[in-house]
Amino acid sequence: MIMSNYIGLPGTLRHEGIRVGEIIAYRAWRVIVPRWLSGGDLLHSIAMRDYAWYPDRPASGDVRTHGIYSFHNVIRSRDDYGYDPGTIEPFLFGRVKIWGEVVEHEAGYRSEFGKIVSLDYGDPELLERFRRVYGLNAEPESSSKNVIRLDE
């Protein structure tokens, strides 16, 4: 019988892929200037200006087209970010947890899902405001030290 042969099969198969839970990575978000003083403050992606990050649901994207981009290393400034969208709007920098389908690149990742974990660098007033919006506390960067990265 085919079914009786199957019962012990899973225990004999070796897992050959990489299995990871969530990954902590780094990224930047754009603050849209006209919304600074409004009640509907949301952070936006840098390259996709109209893509808003909502506090109550993960950001998502199809990794075959765009996905959620993030970096291996901490970024604290526009210079660290390395991409100029041609705007003077302020950026905030922090950590994001990513999961789902994840494609690793030389400098970082492109993932299916992402959620803001912390906002760490940028204008202090904006950091405070957006930490409230996203329900975040100021966290020391060292809280991500126990996360295993794929490139280690």
Strands (E), 32-122: 43-44, 52-53, 59-60, 68-71, 91-104, 108-121
DSSP 8-class letter at 78: H
Whether 7 is in a domain gets the answer no
Whether 29 is in a domain gets the answer yes
Other Cβ atoms within 10 Å of 75 Cβ, number: 20
pLDDT at position 140, please? 56
pLDDT tens column, 95-124: 999 999 898 888 999 999 999 999 999 999
Whether 58 is in a domain gets the answer yes
Whether 6 is in a domain gets the answer no
pLDDT at position 97, please? 97
Whether 92 is in a domain gets the answer yes
3-state secondary structure of 45: coil
Whether 53 is in a domain gets the answer yes
Question: In the chain, how many domains are there?
Answer: 1
Whether 16 is in a domain gets the answer no
Higher pLDDT, 142 or 135: 135
Q: Which domain holds residue 135?
A: 21-139
With 60 as the cut, is the pLDDT of residue 41 above it?
yes
Whether 144 is in a domain gets the answer no
CA atoms of 11 and 64, how far apart (whole Å): 33
Burial track 129-147 (b if 16+ CB lie within 10 A, e otherwise): bbbebbebeeeeeeebeee
